[in-house]
Structure 1
């Protein structure tokens, strides 16, 4: 019988580490249904949804720990999928930076019951304008009854200079 679980792994970036983990998964008879990898400086984090025969799950986890001793692995059962009436909305948000901006965006989206699937942000000092700018890429799970325009309008309300653009998925 097949089993699905989520593996989260963190540690130092080394060349080929993600490929090596994928090879180990295949060798044990599993497959990654989906995966996401992020690198920040010399560290990385990855999440993989793994599909494997139930009898092979323990073997895979043991191999991960044995072959990648410097990495930290954790495991979780997948939760319920999002409703079929939910879509993903990809956005860019750009504006002047200020303290609390990220928290304000997260709070606003949470108050709307929108799920943040992905949030990446950067702050950069732009010497020609003499200020720091904030730029964020968001992927949000949005219920069908919430319009794209209303999400954009609310996000543009976080600052006078906020510019929000919808990206093609």
Structure 2
């Protein structure tokens, strides 16, 4: 029987480490369905959605521990999704930066039970206007009954100059 699990890997970046993790997974009979890797300076974190035979899970975990002793691994079963009537809304938020803006956006969406699947943000000083600009790309899991326009309106409310675009 196939099992789905999320494997989190954290550690120092070394040449070929991602390929070696994938090869080890395949050797144990597993397959990465989805992966997200983030690198920051000399460190990385990876989330791997793995499909593997239930009886092969201990073999894979043991292989990871032996082959990658300097990496940290954690494992969790993938929860069954109840999101049959959900969709992902991708949008960009741009406005002047201010303290607490990221927290306010996260709180606003969380208070409405909208889940953030992905959030990436940048702050850039624009010398021609003499201010720092905040730019965020969001992927939000939204129930079908919530309109795109209502989410855009809520996000535009975080700042007088906020511009929200879909896509």
Give the TM-score taking structure 2 as reference length: 0.95
SS of the equivalent of 1:158 reads coil
For the residue of structure 2 that corresponds to 1:123, the secondary structure is strand
Asked if 1:151 is matched to 2:139, the reply is no
Aligned partner of residue 132 in structure 1, secondary structure: strand
| 4+ runs deviating over 6 angstroms | none
Q: Give the Å deviation of 1:79.
A: 1.2
Aligned to 2:53: 53
Tell me the equivalent position of 1:89.
Answer: 89
* 1:41 aligned onto 2:36: no
1:130 aligns with 2:148: no
2:114 — aligned with what? 114
1:27 and 2:27 are equivalent in the alignment: yes
TM-score, normalised to structure 1, is 0.94
Match status 1:9 vs 2:9: yes
Q: Distance in 1 between matches of 2:29 and 2:109?
A: 40
Distance of 1:34 and 1:134 partners within structure 2: 29
Q: Distance in 2 between matches of 1:23 and 1:97?
A: 43
Cα distance between partner residues in 2 of 1:132 and 1:8: 34
Q: CA RMSD in A?
A: 1.1
Q: State how 1:72-83 maps to structure 2 within 5 Å.
A: 72-83=72-83
The CA distance in 1 between the partners of 2:22 and 2:31, in whole Å, is 8
Paired position in structure 2 for 1:142: 142
Structure 2 spans left out of the alignment, 5+ residues: none
Q: How does 1:92-107 map to 2 (within 5 A)?
A: 92-107=92-107
CA distance in 1, matches of 2:41, 2:84: 37
* 3-state DSSP of counterpart to 2:128: coil
Number of residues of Structure 1 aligned to a counterpart in Structure 2: 167
